[in-house]
Structure 1
């Protein structure tokens, strides 16, 4: 029988068509991915606790509701303490920005004047002036992007509120969902697909739980250290330093820049103390915190991680840098699986 008359061929073509249609549909609704991504993060964070409570005799729905209640109490307590302080610090920062801007402009003008008074060749002076103006433009661009990011976060409040609802239904029916997915796998490749799914699940779980734990620890340590050395806006800068830890290698530098810059505007001695504090925290994070919590969970060479971060940042900005490492880790598992089957 010719190949085009075989049922297997029609089945493969039909499945390929369905996959293409599903991919196109997902592309059309790509703007709705955020609540689902946040819901998956919540599932990875909370489901182990729900499973443990269920094993002790609590019904699954009750376990989820009890856990949600506890999370709401904790988050509300933190927000009641932290939000007013953050708002006060933001107001203080807004009032201090004109003074900081005047200081930066004075420093830039001083540098430009030194170059103008120096015996540098005119061509080199022009290049240096252009680089200084380029630096000013970049700083303004960073400030605009930060403001746009804050506005985007406010605009996505509905997505943030929808994520716990989606996570509730996913956790409530997680076992039926897994069984349904397993029933769709052909028997001849069931073991391979299950092994591949477990490896991917392990990588994502380690990234979500481990990195968020590191974020919280580094954020608390940074905020406390900044307050201890007398830096203004310590709580806000600690949050920034903690969130930056989601980006491997470059994250600590990104998180340290705002703190060092604000300290430098006040005094060189304060900037030195902030640098020392950041250095100590990063040594603790690199030698104790991350190895104990994360280990080598991604299974990636450092050079691979750096290239992935650079590529993700170039293509998709901060979001690309955040997602680059877990996506590359998942791709490594998939490529290794296919390579194993081809050999």
Structure 2
């Protein structure tokens, strides 16, 4: 019998169509995915500790509640200590923005005058003027995106508050959920599905736990160094530099730009010190911290990582760059699995 007349072929087509419809449905509801994404992050962070506590005799629900209590205490302490200082820094930044804006405008004006007084050909000077205007527009766009991001976080507080509730029920019934998911596949496929799920789970676990650990270490180190060298808003800029570590290769550069720009507004010597400090921290992160914590966590060639980052950033902006690497790693696992079965 020809392959296109076999019942199995139609079953595969049905499953593929069903997966496509589910993916499309999730795409339509992408604005509501934030609590589920945060819940998955919480599960990956807390579930290993819940499993350990359960093995030592604690009930699963009690273990989750104890961990939640610990997280609430730690987060509340950090908020009580850190939020007033962050608010003070933000208030100070708001007060000094006009002065910084005037400095930037004066610098841009001087550059434009310098090029205008030079003996450059008119065509080259026009191109330079257009590039300067383009840089100004891009900087304003970055500022606008940062403000939109902050406003988006505030407007999604209800969704963010749902994440711990969803994570609680996922961790509580995670074993049953896994059994149910495996039972949906035929017995002959269960071993392959389980192997594929474990590989995907390993990528997610490494990305969530490993990268968040790196982010925390780099944020603390950078903030301390920025404060010690006298950079204004050092804690805030250190946290930004740490969060940028979630983006491989481009992240350190993206995180360093605000700190260097702020330092330049204070003094060129301070900017040099910031560049040296960031370079040293990035060398520590790249050669010691990340290899120890992450290793080869995603199994992708650097060219593949860079290509996925460029594609993710082009299609979905910063969010696309954050999710590009784990999505590319999962795609590699799935494609390798399908290729293995076809061959």
What is the TM-score when the length of structure 2 is the normalising length? 0.96
Q: Using the alignment, how far apart are the partners of 2:69 and 2:189 within structure 1? A: 41
Aligned CA-pair RMSD: 1.8
Query: Is it true that 1:116 corresponds to 2:143 in the alignment?
Result: no
CA 97–14 in structure 1, closer or farther in 2 if over 3 Å, else same: same
Report what 1:169 is aligned to. Answer: 169
Q: Using the alignment, how far apart are the partners of 2:188 and 2:148 within structure 1? A: 51
Report what 1:276 is aligned to. Answer: 276
Deviation at 1:119, TM superposition (A): 1.3
Report what 1:237 is aligned to. Answer: 237
Q: Using the alignment, how far apart are the partners of 1:323 and 1:111 within structure 2? A: 38
Q: Per-residue CA shift, 1:185-207, capped at 9, x if unaligned?
A: 11111111111111110011000
Q: Per-residue CA shift, 1:195-252, capped at 9, x if unaligned?
A: 1111110011000000000000000000001001000101100110011000000000
Q: Using the alignment, how far apart are the partners of 2:311 and 2:79 within structure 1? A: 35
Q: Using the alignment, how far apart are the partners of 1:132 and 1:28 within structure 2? A: 39
Report what 1:80 is aligned to. Answer: 80
Query: Is it true that 1:194 corresponds to 2:194 in the alignment?
Result: yes
Q: Using the alignment, how far apart are the partners of 1:24 and 1:141 within structure 2? A: 30
What is the SS of the residue equivalent to 1:230? coil
Deviation at 1:117, TM superposition (A): 1.2
Q: Per-residue CA shift, 1:147-179, capped at 9, x if unaligned?
A: 111111111111110000000000000000011
Report what 2:142 is aligned to. Answer: 142
Q: Using the alignment, how far apart are the partners of 1:142 and 1:11 within structure 2? A: 48
What stretches of structure 1 of length at least 5 have no aligned partner?
Answer: none
Report what 1:255 is aligned to. Answer: 255
Alignment of 1:1-343 (within 5 A): 15=15, 18-343=18-343
Q: Using the alignment, how far apart are the partners of 2:10 and 2:105 within structure 1? A: 70
Give the stretch that moved more between structures: 23-32 or 153-162.
Answer: 23-32
CA 127–65 in structure 1, closer or farther in 2 if over 3 Å, else same: same
CA 100–189 in structure 1, closer or farther in 2 if over 3 Å, else same: same
Deviation at 1:30, TM superposition (A): 2.3
Deviation at 1:29, TM superposition (A): 2.4
Give the stretch that moved more between structures: 219-228 or 12-21.
Answer: 12-21
Aligned length: 343
What stretches of structure 2 of length at least 5 have no aligned partner?
Answer: none
Q: Using the alignment, how far apart are the partners of 1:312 and 1:5 within structure 2? A: 39
